[in-house]
Structure formats: C-alpha cells, structure tokens
C-alpha cells in the first residue's frame, strides 16, 4: 500500500451511529491518530452527556480535541480549523493517514473545505442580539433570521443561539444573506479527504438513541449535569440533554419526562445531522459493521 498523497479519513454520521468505534478500528488499522470534530465533546466537564470516548477508548488510540476545553472557554469553528490544520501538518510528517470523526458538519467542512471569509463580529450588533435573546428567547432570534435569510434558516440548528446570532450579525453588517456569503469555493488543501458516512436504518438509529440515553443516565449523567448546572449560562451547555435536565432541576418536568424529551430531541438532532450530510456527494455510505468495505474503499482511493 503506497499512498500517493496524505489522506484525511473522515468518519461522519448522526449521533449514536457508531462513529467512535469505527474511527478507532480504522485508526488502529492505518496506524494513526484521531481528531474529534464533535463540537460537544470538546468540553472536559461533560463527557457522559456528549458520549465522548471513554478512558479505555482513549487509551486504544491517541485522540485530539476531546475534553481539551472548559465550558467557560470561548471557542469557534474558525479557531478549530486553524488548530486542526496545524496539527495535520505535524501528523502528516510521519503518517500517511489521519482519521477525523464527528457529527458536527460545520466543523468537518471547516477542515475539509475551509470556512468563508466573513466580517469580524460587530460589538454593538452583538450586544443588541444578546439583549434580544435574554429578553425574548431563542424564538426572537429565529424570527429575525427567517426574515433576513430564509435559506439559511432552513439549514441552521435553530436551537443554537450562537449560530443564529452570527448569521443575523453578518446579514446586518453586509446587507446580504448569510447563505449567499457562505457559497465561496472550497479552499485547496495539501491532503486528500476520503469521506465515509455511517449508514444506519432509521428504525435502528431510533432504538440506539433511546438505549444510549438510558445507558448514559445509568453511568451518572444526572450527577454530571447537576455539577455544571451553576454554569448553565454558558453556550456550551445550551445543547440537547443538558437543557432538558436543567428543566428537571428547575422543577418544570419530572425526571421521566426530561429523559423522554432528551430522546425526542436527540432524534430531531440526528435528523438535522443527516440532512446536512446527505447534501455532501463526496460521502460514501457504509454500514458501521462493514469495516472491510471501508478499508477497501480507503485503500482504493489512496
């Protein structure tokens, strides 16, 4: 096997589709390391609720960008792109393959294609949007974005106020829809990307999501959420699972209701992830158990 170039093997797919196990297996086969592109797994305080690799899994293969931040840290996809590209330069000095795995399409795309050159945040606009969010909630941001850019409104995670604010900000600064400005040509990379998607039947994925949610509760997710509850104002905790458990702590729901809401909202999140990934025609889909097929595909492309 003589690779003609340096190769980034990308493992993409929805939550609970088996990406972590596949990434470890492929990394061991190709004798390399793993870069996590799951933006929820960056935060060291919340490994259970984000289904981060376990200590045993981390011991099998070296992982990067797992638990390297605090929920208090300010971080963004632009910094991730820069830091990953720098790391890849180092890894490719001694390796022909590197595995990158995650369910955050925006973060995967940032490394594979680059992100668009958009204006820096405007402090005054951001203050106005922060105030709007505090006073009227995420629904007000959703309505504002829908009026400014209906195309991006259909694509964005509507429960992520940070992304809503950024899109609104760019629209107001430039006078153009954010979706229009995001259509720049992909940036050239000095490595080849080989994209593999986890193809899991919908009914199976639904079962996996429910089973994994209950397993995470058994592993101590409730206690983990209680520890970070005082930090709930930070954007990193404005995510599926923690929002529902915080409502339980607030006395809005009982625990059974909160868990059922987590399962429902995780299914919706998985559906949004698949909508994103299905648009990427470079992804070749495999059943998670078809490791031989994936290896053959990578070796045939490299």
Q: What contacts 24+ positions apart, CB below 8 Å, involve 23-30?
A: 23/61, 23/99, 23/101, 24/53, 24/57, 24/60, 24/61, 25/291, 26/99, 26/291, 26/294, 26/295, 26/298, 27/61, 27/99, 28/60, 28/61, 29/295, 30/96, 30/97, 30/99, 30/298
Query: Is the pLDDT reported for residue 3 higher than 70?
Result: no
Query: Is the pLDDT reported for residue 88 higher than 70?
Result: yes
Rounded Cα distance between 160 and 165, Å, is: 9
What mean pLDDT value characterizes the chain? Answer: 93
pLDDT for position 5:
84
Rounded percentage of the chain residues whose pLDDT exceeds 70 = 98
Query: Is the pLDDT reported for residue 179 higher than 80?
Result: yes
Mean pLDDT of 4-28: 95
pLDDT for position 2:
45
* Spans of all domains in the chain: 7-115+185-301, 123-181
Mean pLDDT of 124-128: 88
Under 8 Å between Cβ of 170 and 146: no
Query: Is the pLDDT reported for residue 47 higher than 70?
Result: yes
Query: Is the pLDDT reported for residue 160 higher than 50?
Result: yes
Rounded Cα distance between 293 and 250, Å, is: 48
pLDDT for position 124:
85
Give the pTM: 0.83
Structure tokens at 94: 């001694």
pLDDT for position 282:
96
pLDDT for position 83:
97
Rounded percentage of the chain residues whose pLDDT exceeds 90 = 81
pLDDT tier, 184 (very low <50, low <70, confident <90, very high otherwise): low
Structure tokens at 210: 């429910």
Mean pLDDT of 278-291: 97
Query: Is the pLDDT reported for residue 183 higher than 80?
Result: no
**Topology of the domain covering 123-181:** Histone, subunit A (1.10.20)
Mean pLDDT of 142-153: 94
CATH homologous superfamily for the domain 7-115+185-301: P-loop containing nucleotide triphosphate hydrolases (3.40.50.300)
Mean pLDDT of 28-45: 97
pLDDT tier, 119 (very low <50, low <70, confident <90, very high otherwise): confident
pLDDT for position 1:
43
């Amino acid at each position: 096997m003589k690779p003609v170039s340096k190769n980034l093997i990308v493992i993409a797919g929805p939550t609970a589709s088996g990406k972590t196990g596949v990434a470890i297996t492929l990394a061991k086969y190709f004798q390399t390391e793993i870069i996590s592109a799951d933006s929820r797994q960056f935060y060291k305080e919340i490994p259970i609720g984000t289904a981060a690799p376990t200590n045993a899994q981390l011991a099998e293969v070296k992982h990067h960008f797992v638990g390297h931040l605090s929920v208090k840290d300010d971080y963004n996809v632009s910094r991730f792109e820069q830091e990953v590209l720098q790391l890849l330069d180092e890894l490719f000095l001694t390796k022909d393959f590197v595995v990158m795995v995650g369910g955050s399409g925006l973060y995967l795309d940032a490394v594979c294609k680059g992100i668009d050159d958009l204006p820096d945040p405007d402090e005054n606009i951001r203050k106005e949007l922060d105030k709007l969010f505090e006073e009227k909630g995420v629904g007000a941001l959703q309505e504002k974005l829908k009026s400014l850019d209906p195309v991006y409104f259909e694509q964005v995670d509507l429960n992520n106020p940070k992304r809503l604010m950024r899109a609104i900000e760019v629209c107001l600064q430039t006078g153009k829809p954010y979706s229009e400005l995001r259509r720049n040509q992909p940036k050239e990379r000095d490595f080849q990307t080989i994209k593999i998607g986890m193809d899991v039947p919908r009914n199976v994925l639904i079962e996996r999501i429910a089973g994994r949610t209950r397993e995470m509760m058994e592993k101590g997710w409730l206690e983990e959420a209680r520890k970070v509850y005082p930090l709930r104002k930070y954007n990193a905790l404005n995510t599926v699972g923690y929002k529902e458990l915080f409502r339980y702590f607030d006395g809005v729901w009982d625990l059974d209701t909160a868990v059922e809401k987590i399962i429902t909202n995780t299914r919706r999140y998985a559906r949004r992830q698949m909508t994103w990934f299905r648009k990427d025609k470079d992804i070749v889909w495999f059943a998670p158990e078809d490791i031989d097929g994936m290896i053959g595909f990578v070796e045939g492309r490299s």
